[in-house]
């Protein structure tokens, strides 16, 4: 097996459990490397560091799969998937969940979402992509699924020398399915929806609004397919308006409202939320609850300041639309904006809006997306509810 020897001075994160090894942390490699193959990694003193897959085309040269001298084979992936499933069941996820959350489940660059009896896979690095048949085989053995689909139509694969692609990894099946969440039903477009078709990471947070929306007039921006808005209607809101720039998303949200018999309470409009929030604040519109769930504003460190400016601006506009004593529900899925920075940004927005805020709850993503301390990329979602009052 190819041996990768690390430099004497490396980031402590490797010894502390992080699976990523960058090219500039490697002293030497013994033998000719085949991209994607399994290699052994050693510290400078020849102590075993771990075993993982290598790709010289990637900025992350090696991603470790294990710290043990164990075989990486079909059984290895079967065991990892079974462990992940057992863990989800123990913490209460039996129907819909993120089954594999990459590094947090010891399988870097692998995402698997479980939508009841259907599975959606993303293999985002060459080394894990080569084990896709073994992963599919393990899923079939453990779950006997009704369908498996890959959503590898993501640009990050090109950094690994991989093509973007999507399609069936099982016998073909209708790719629009229906799932249940918190007593509601939602259409999921596995083939063409964003990411894997549905944002499971907010499923616990959507329950957190149930008390503040009772009898309330609710405004939701960046609604996508209406999940937060329909939870608000389900939990007793008087009226709900959801905004999204995508006409397709609004059409899907409207269908979801009809599916749940909530279309008399919840309605949706295809508009630019940035522009509308600003104009409606000037017009003096007011809501009991304003919910903001924007997409990631940056995926690179170079644009963090731009992202902060964007988050501050939309939250400032949102706060101006909240009645005195009402609530702002706001999220950020940009992992480069750490939790403390996000809270500081909301605080700045409140000061500029001349509002006083009181934290109701501050949470991360749902627990089926585990957070591993020391792996910042696993702690990416920030979800905040604050009461907003006039100064």
Q: Could you give the 3-state DSSP secondary structure of residue 69?
A: coil
Which of the four pLDDT bands, split at 50, 70 and 90, describes residue 305? confident
pLDDT digits (tens, 9 = 90+) for 37-58: 999 999 999 999 999 999 999 9
Indicate if the alpha-carbon torsion angle 212, 214, 217, 220 is positive or negative.
positive
What is the percent of the chain with per-residue pLDDT over 90, rounded to a whole number? 91
Q: How far apart are CA 337 and CA 332, in angstroms?
A: 8
Residue 162, Cα to own-chain centre: how many angstroms?
22
In sequence order, which residues have a C-beta less than 8 Å from that of residue 45 and are 6 or more positions away?
none
Q: Which domains does the chain have, with CATH numbers?
A: 3-66 (2.30.130.10), 74-175 (3.30.750.80), 199-390 (3.40.50.150)
What does the alpha-carbon distance between residue 32 and residue 9 come to, in Å, rounded to a whole number? 24
Mean pLDDT of 291-311: 82
pLDDT at 300: 66
pLDDT band at 299 (very low <50, low <70, confident <90, very high): low
For 149-186, the pLDDT digits (tens) are: 999 999 999 999 999 999 999 999 999 999 999 999 99
Whether the CB-CB separation of 176 and 259 falls below 8 Å is answered with no
3-state secondary structure the chain: CCEEEECCCCCHHHHCCCCEEEHHHEEEEECCCCCCCEEEEECCCCCEEEEEEECCCCCEEEEEEECCCCCCCHHHHHHHHHHHHHHHHHCCCCCEEEEEEHHHHCCCCEEEEEECCEEEEEECCHHHHCCHHHHHHHHHHHHCCCEEEEEECCHHHHHHCCCCEEEECCCCCCCEEEEEECCEEEEEECCCCCCCCCCHHHHHHHHCCCCCCCCCEEEEECCCCCHHHHHHHHCCCCEEEEEECCHHHHHHHHHHHHHCCCCCCEEEEECCHHHHHHHHHHHCCCEEEEEECCCCCCCCHHHHHHHHHHHHHHHHHHHHCEEEEEEEEEEECCCCCCHHHHHHHHHHHHHHHCEEEEEEEEECCCCCCCCCCCCHHHCCCEEEEEEEEEC
pLDDT reported for residue 302: 74
How far apart (Å, rounded) are the C-alpha atoms in residues 74 and 85? 17
How large is the angle between the packed helices 304-320 and 273-283, nearest 10 degrees? 40
Across the chain, mean pLDDT equals: 95
Average pLDDT over residues 209-225: 97
Give the tens place of pLDDT for each residue, 233-289: 999 999 999 999 999 999 999 999 999 999 999 999 999 998 999 999 999 999 999
Give the span between the Cα atoms of 330 and 359, in whole angstroms: 11
pLDDT band at 10 (very low <50, low <70, confident <90, very high): confident
Q: The pTM is what?
A: 0.95
DSSP notation for 214-266: TT-EEEEES-TTTHHHHHHHHTT-SEEEEEES-HHHHHHHHHHHHHTT-TTTE
Residue 298: predicted pLDDT: 65
pLDDT for residue 191 is more than 90:
yes
State the pLDDT at residue 36. Answer: 97
Mean pLDDT, residues 357-373: 97
Give the three-class secondary structure for 107. coil
User: Is residue 192 scored above 80 in pLDDT?
Assistant: yes
Nearest to 207 by CA among 235, 247, 244, 165: 235
pLDDT at residue 272, rounded to an integer: 94
Residue 349: the pLDDT is: 97
pLDDT tier at 351, thresholds 50, 70, 90: very high
**Phi, psi angles (nearest 5°) of residue 206:** -65, -25
Q: List the structure tokens of 210.
A: 């149930």
156 closest CA partner among 59, 244, 87: 59
352 contact partners, CB below 8 Å, separation of at least 6? 312, 316
Q: What confidence tier does 336 reach under pLDDT thresholds 50, 70, 90?
A: confident
Can you tell me the mean pLDDT for 365-376? 95
* H helix count then E strand count, the chain: 10, 20
């Amino acid at each position: 097996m190819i041996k990768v020897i690390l430099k004497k001075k490396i980031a402590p994160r490797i010894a502390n459990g992080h699976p990523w090894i960058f090219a500039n942390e490697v002293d030497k490699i013994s033998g000719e490397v085949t991209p994607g193959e399994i290699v052994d990694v050693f510290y400078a003193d020849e102590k075993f560091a771990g075993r993982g897959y290598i790709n010289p085309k990637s900025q992350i040269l090696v991603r470790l799969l294990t710290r043990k001298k164990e075989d990486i084979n079909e059984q290895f992936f079967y065991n990892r998937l079974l462990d992940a499933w057992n863990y989800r069941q123990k913490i209460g996820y039996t129907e819909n969940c993120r089954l594999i959350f990459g590094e947090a489940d010891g399988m870097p660059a692998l995402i698997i979402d479980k939508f009841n009896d259907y599975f959606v896979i993303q293999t985002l690095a060459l080394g894990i992509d080569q084990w896709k048949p073994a992963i599919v085989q393990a899923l079939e053995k453990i779950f006997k699924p009704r369908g498996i689909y890959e959503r590898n139509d993501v640009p990050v694969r090109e950094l690994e020398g991989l093509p973007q692609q999507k399609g069936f990894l099982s016998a073909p099946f209708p790719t629009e399915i229906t799932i249940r969440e918190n007593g509601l039903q939602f259409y999921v477009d596995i083939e063409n929806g964003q990411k894997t078709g549905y944002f499971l990471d907010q499923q616990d947070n959507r329950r957190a609004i149930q008390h503040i929306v009772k009898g309330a007039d609710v405004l939701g921006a960046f609604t996508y397919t209406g999940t937060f808005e329909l939870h608000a209607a389900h939990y007793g809101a008087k009226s709900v308006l959801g905004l999204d720039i995508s006409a397709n998303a609004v059409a899907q949200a409207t269908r979801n409202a009809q599916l749940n018999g909530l279309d008399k309470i919840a309605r949706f409009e295809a508009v630019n939320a940035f522009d509308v929030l600003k104009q409606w604040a000037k017009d003096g519109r007011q809501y009991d609850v304003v919910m903001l769930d924007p997409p990631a504003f940056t995926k690179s460190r170079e644009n963090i300041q731009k992202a902060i400016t964007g988050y501050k601006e939309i939250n400032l506009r949102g706060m101006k639309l909240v009645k005195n004593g009402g609530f702002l529900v706001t999220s950020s899925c940009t992992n480069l904006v750490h939790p403390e920075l996000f809270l500081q940004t909301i605080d700045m927005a409140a000061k500029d809006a001349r509002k006083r805020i009181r934290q109701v709850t501050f949470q991360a993503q749902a627990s089926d997306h585990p957070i591993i301390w020391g792996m910042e990329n696993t702690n990416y979602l920030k979800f905040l509810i604050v009461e907003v009052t006039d100064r």
